[in-house]
Amino acid sequence: MEKGTKTFSCRPIVSGKASGEAIVSEEPMCFYLCDPKTGEVIEKNHPLRGRSIAGKVLVLKSGKGSSVVQVDGFYQLWAKGNLPVAIIVKDTEPVLVSSAVVVSTVMVDRMEKDPFEVINDGDWVEVDAESGIVEVRPKEL
């Protein structure tokens, strides 16, 4: 293991393995309010507005919005290849889970430490939803 890398247990929701740069949203998200062509968050007043979630490991508070729009939002991002590669959820809810299964996005929850305390924007994160492990390599300062 590289120096500074920390490992945490988690609970797999949608299986698979993926790694990428972390992007952290302490607010819930409606994926319908992302631009499918870029993965950029377009929701007014959202803390991630103007930033892209494409290809990243998204650390997410929770989901919001009706099931129809959330599922369609995931689908549109997936069709353009602009979904996050994995999602670490704090408060799991049914529509978010359903949406992730539809397009097979790796998803975990119940990290042993509060993900917002141990993962920062730009950290390198490996999510292993086969064995229930999240590995975090802090961004070099």
Partner 1 sequence: MYLTDEEKRTLDGNSGPGNQKAMELLYALGKAFDAERLIPVSRAHVALSGQEGDTYWCGLLVDGGARCKVVPTTNPAWDVEGLSRRFDVTDDELELAVRTVDVYRRIGAELTFCCTPGLGTNVPLFGEHVAFSESSATPYVNSVLGARSNRESSVSALASAVIGKTPLYGLHLEENRKGDFLVVVEAAMKESYDWGILGWYVGRFAGSRVPVLRFRNLDRRPSVEDLLYLGAELNTSGAVPVYHIEGLTPEALSWPSVFKGKTPEAELIVGDRELKEQEETLSENKGPINLVMLGCPQYTYSQIRRVEELFKGRRVKDGVGFWILTSFDALELASRSGEKERLQESGVELVADTCIDEPCWKSFEGGLGMTDSPKCAYYRERRGQPFVIRRLSECVEAAVLGEVR
Provide the Cα torsion 130, 2, 25, 49; round to 10°.
-120
Please report how close the Cβ of residue 61 comes to partner 1 at its closest, in angstroms.
15
Site string for partner 1, 97-126 (x = CB under 8 A): xxxxxx----x-x-----------------
- Known catalytic membership, residue 67: no
Q: Which of 113, 85, 109 is nearest to 96 (CA)?
A: 109
Give how far Cα 5 sits from Cα of 2, 29, 53, 55, 126, Å: 6, 28, 23, 21, 10
Amino acid at 67: S
Binding status of residue 33 toward partner 1 by CB under 8 A: no
- Among residues 115, 114, 112, 109, the alpha carbon closest in space to that of 129 is found at 109
Which part of the chain contacts partner 1 (CB under 8 A), choosing from 22-30, 47-55, 94-102, 133-141? 94-102
Quick check: 22 binds partner 1 (CB under 8 A)? no
Piece in contact with partner 1 (CB under 8 A), picked from 9-17, 39-47, 53-61, 120-128: 9-17
Which residues are tagged catalytic?
A: 66
Residues lying near partner 1 in the complex (CB under 8 A): 11, 13-14, 66-68, 70-76, 79, 92-95, 97-102, 107, 109
